[in-house]
């Protein structure tokens, strides 16, 4: 544990750095996707994620089941990034005065669906009254050979799974008071943690990985900082979800920038050695049904350079404290 | 997993039963103190506990450090009840608009202090804005031979650690708008999870154990239900904290009833075979510095009989949803 946690910039990460400084040796592995506890067959991977009404979602946007699914899927995404196999989840749920027992059961049904879809179970939890719905999900998994954000080396290439921007498209529709297109809504309400792809990428020799809860712009700097390398990312190469393409064009925003600054996608950003070729990516896509797109490379140095139409640009990460 | 979870009565437990029914096979071990995941050397024990401002505590009662300590100690108490050795904790913290970064760091210092006092570390966490302070703590431990609430058999005797009622004394003072006596305040603000005593009781052959977050009146029925036995508890025998004795006498409440219905004590209720004698209890007290008091016995049947001055009485458990 160091006071200089290898995290990228941002106020949320300044808070985590301040906590790590105060905790000193009482903290052991803050700042990564999962904590890794040595086990006989490898590691136990654990992570906690909290979803709060009014911050991460608003009640009218989602059904109770979707609130539970989304909270759980976003936590499971940290296991995916660690190449861990889910064992189970624990949930601490606070229920506002206007929340019924039926709502609670439906939220927990969503939690259970997301856990079983990923191969795990609901191991336990706690309930309390509260001012708003708040679902804290702890995930446990096992990883024989876990991946972390550290491990990328100069010469590696940077890839991203799936497509980006659909969840943000739903968010901007809701914020404008419009119903989002079905694809966008689905991406936000029922994200699919990339468990199988994460495990496959680890088996194929990936060096470092993280999940994109705060977008490529927000999260790529963490991978660079943890690995002690520089990343160069060609933003034009980002795989943009069709529904996000339509949204960016309609509102006159640069498509690539829209996708790079979009949070909540829960896709994986991964550094693979140069031997991993486009052909391997096509095979992986066939095996897992998830596209893998080359978006940049790893160099000696520090920080992330984002190139848009050949020019360096400054991008903003997605910040839940600000949202 | 069954739809008829072996839990005692109460609306919170009706909610847990409804969740278990909805989850079916997606749930694996709801209703106990900890979930137990088989490991090579025994079991990994995990549990989640949530502490919410306005429900479990009010801001003016506690310092930020105490909010963190108390939330963490109450979660660690579930490891104590399982006879597990703490590995670490994860925390999901929501911070209200009037909460500063300094408050957050102080809360986490309290979390770290409680984790290290129990032999663990802070493994990770998540932060979010929220409507109130809400600290969800997940604890992880290892247990070679875990204890659960199931396992008590007729002929066993029922014991309780420490003394009861001090935390409730603090609570009733605050609710009356009075500052609580120092001993009462300390019991509420900085409870000590009974980690060492729990491990020692397991080693001495305890059959079943749980921690008293909802008081003897609220929690004893869970041990009876999980073990499929009846308990007879002589409420007059309960070890009452001196400060609780003074409070009960001052307000004209029956002392034993006050202690039996007091939540938040985080003492252990344990079923030990009859071979375990008063002499062994004295030895344990010398070894661990925590008294152990004989309060009842285990019989064939179901439910808990509370005897007060020789007569059967109905008692109420402490309910966070109601508090």
pLDDT tens digit string along A59-97? 999 999 999 999 999 999 999 999 999 999 999 999 999
What's the token pair of residue B158?
């029922």
Environment class of residue A2 by beta-carbon count within 10 Å: exposed (0-12), middle (13-18) or buried (19+)?
Answer: exposed
**CA B142 to chain CA mean position, Å:** 19
* Mean pLDDT within B296-320: 90
CB contact under 8 A, A26 and B121: yes
| Banded model confidence at residue A5, pLDDT cuts 50, 70, 90 | low
Element (DSSP H or E) covering residue A135: strand A134-143
pLDDT of residue B29: 64
Strand order in the sheet with A121-129: A35-39, A42-52, A134-143, A85-95, A121-129
Task: Tell me which residue in B27, B92, B108 faces A112 most closely, judged by beta carbons.
Answer: B27
Provide the 3-class DSSP secondary structure of residue B239.
coil
Q: Which residue has the higher pLDDT, A125 or B319?
A: A125
Residues of chain B positioned with their CB less than 8 A from the CB of A79: none
CB contacts, 8 Å: B51 with chain A: 128
Question: pTM for the full model?
Answer: 0.93
Contact state of B122 with A88 under an 8 Å Cβ cutoff: no
Place of tokens 């002929």: B155
Q: What angle do CA B179, A126, A57 make, to 5 degrees?
A: 100
Residues of B whose CB is below 8 A from A123: 28-29, 35, 37, 46
Does residue B319 have a pLDDT over 70?
Answer: no
A53: DSSP letter: B
ipTM for the predicted complex: 0.91
Q: Express as a percent the part of chain A with pLDDT over 70.
A: 96
Q: CB B54: neighbour CB atoms within 10 A?
A: 15
A22 touches chain B (CB under 8 A): yes
**Among the ranges given (A62-66, A132-136, B140-144, B250-254), the one the predictor scored with the smallest mean pLDDT:** B250-254
Under an 8 A CB cutoff, do B34 and A124 touch? yes
Q: Does the pLDDT at position B320 exceed 60?
A: no
The pLDDT score that the predictor gives to residue B1 is 32
Kindly report each contact of residues B251-256 with a partner whose C-beta sits within 8 Å and lies 24 or more positions away, as own/partner.
Answer: B251/B172, B254/B308, B256/B308
The chain B residue lying nearest A132, using CA atoms, is B131
Parallel, antiparallel or unpaired: strands B303-308 and B230-234: parallel
The predicted-structure confidence for A194-233, as pLDDT tens digits, reads as follows 999 999 999 999 999 999 988 999 999 999 999 999 999 9
pLDDT value at position A3?
40
Does residue A115 sit at the B interface (CB-CB below 8 Å)?
Answer: yes
| Whether B268 contacts chain A with CB within 8 A | no
Query: Where do we find the tokens 């998994």?
Result: A141
CA distance B78 to B74: 7
**Non-local CB neighbours of A231 within 8 Å, separated by 6+ positions:** A152, A158, A220, A223, A224, A296, A297, A298, A299, A303, A304, A305
DSSP assignment of B104-134, as one string?
A: HHHHHHHHHHHHHHTT-EEEEEEEEE-SS-E
CB pairs under 8 A between A and B: 221
Output the CA angle A137-A139-A141, nearest 5 degrees. Answer: 175
- Interchain CB contact of B187 with A (< 8 Å): no
Closest CA to B168 of B214, B133, B209: B214
Spatial distance between the Cα atoms of B289 and B266, rounded to a whole number of angstroms: 16
Q: Is B114 on the interface with A (CB under 8 A)?
A: no
On whether any CB of chain A is under 8 Å from the CB of B240, the answer is no
Give yes or no for a contact between A221 and A273, defined as CB atoms under 8 angstroms apart.
no
Of A55, A90, A321, nearest to B35 by CB-CB distance is: A90
> Using a CB-CB distance cutoff of 8 angstroms, which residues of chain A are in contact with residue B130?
52, 54-55, 131-132, 134
pLDDT in tens, B127-147: 999 999 999 999 999 999 999
For chain B, give the percent of residues with pLDDT over 70: 96
Contact list in B for residue A100 (CB cut-off 8 A) is none
| CB-based contact A22 B90, cutoff 8 Å | no
Handedness of CA A214, A215, A218, A220 (dihedral sign): positive
Residues B269, A305: Cα–Cα separation, whole Å = 59
Q: What confidence tens digit (pLDDT) does each residue in B208-248 have? A: 999 998 899 999 999 999 999 999 999 999 999 999 999 99
pLDDT of residue B178 exceeding 50: yes
Q: Which residues of B touch A29 (CB under 8 A)?
A: 123-124
Which residue bears the tokens 């400054």?
A314
pLDDT number for residue A22:
83
Write the DSSP assignment of A255-282 as a string of letters: HHHHHHT------EEEEE-TTS-HHHHH
B25 contacts chain A (CB < 8 A)? yes
Determine the pLDDT at residue A1: 32
Q: Distances from the Cα of B44 to the Cαs of A80, A218, B35, B115, in angstroms?
A: 21, 34, 8, 17
Helices (H), A55-181: 64-81, 101-117, 166-175
Give the start-end residues of each E strand in B144-239.
157-161, 208-211, 230-234
As a whole number of angstroms, the distance between CA A26 and CA A207 comes to 28
């Amino acid at each position: 544990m160091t006071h200089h946690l290898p995290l990228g910039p941002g106020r949320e990460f300044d808070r985590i750095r301040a906590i790590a400084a105060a905790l000193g040796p009482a903290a052991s592995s803050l700042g990564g996707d999962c904590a890794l506890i040595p086990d006989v067959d490898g590691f136990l991977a654990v992570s906690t994620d909290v979803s709060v009404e009014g911050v991460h979602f608003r009640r009218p946007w989602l059904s109770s089941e979707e609130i539970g699914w989304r909270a759980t899927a976003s936590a499971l995404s940290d296991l995916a990034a660690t190449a861990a196999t889910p064992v189970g989840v624990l949930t601490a749920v606070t229920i506002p005065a206007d929340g019924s027992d039926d709502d609670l059961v439906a939220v927990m049904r969503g939690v259970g669906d997301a856990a079983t879809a990923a191969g795990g179970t609901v191991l336990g939890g706690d309930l309390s009254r509260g001012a708003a719905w708040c679902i804290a999900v702890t995930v446990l998994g096992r990883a024989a050979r876990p991946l972390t954000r550290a491990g990328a080396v100069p010469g590696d290439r940077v890839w991203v799974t799936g497509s980006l921007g659909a969840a943000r498209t739903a968010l901007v529709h809701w914020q404008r008071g419009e119903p989002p297109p079905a694809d966008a809504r689905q991406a936000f309400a029922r994200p699919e943690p990339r468990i199988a792809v994460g495990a496959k990428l680890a088996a194929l020799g990936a060096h470092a990985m993280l999940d994109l809860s705060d977008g490529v712009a927000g999260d790529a700097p963490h991978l660079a900082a943890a690995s002690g390398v520089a990343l160069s990312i060609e933003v034009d190469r980002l795989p943009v979800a069709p529904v996000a393409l339509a949204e960016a064009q309609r509102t006159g925003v640069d498509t690539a920038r829209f996708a790079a600054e979009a949070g909540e996608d829960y896709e994986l950003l991964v550094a693979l050695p140069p031997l991993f070729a486009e052909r391997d990516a096509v095979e992986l896509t066939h095996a897992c049904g998830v596209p893998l797109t080359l978006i940049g490379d790893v160099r000696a140095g520090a920080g992330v350079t984002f190139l848009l139409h050949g020019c360096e640009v400054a991008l903003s990460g997605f910040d839940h404290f600000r949202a």
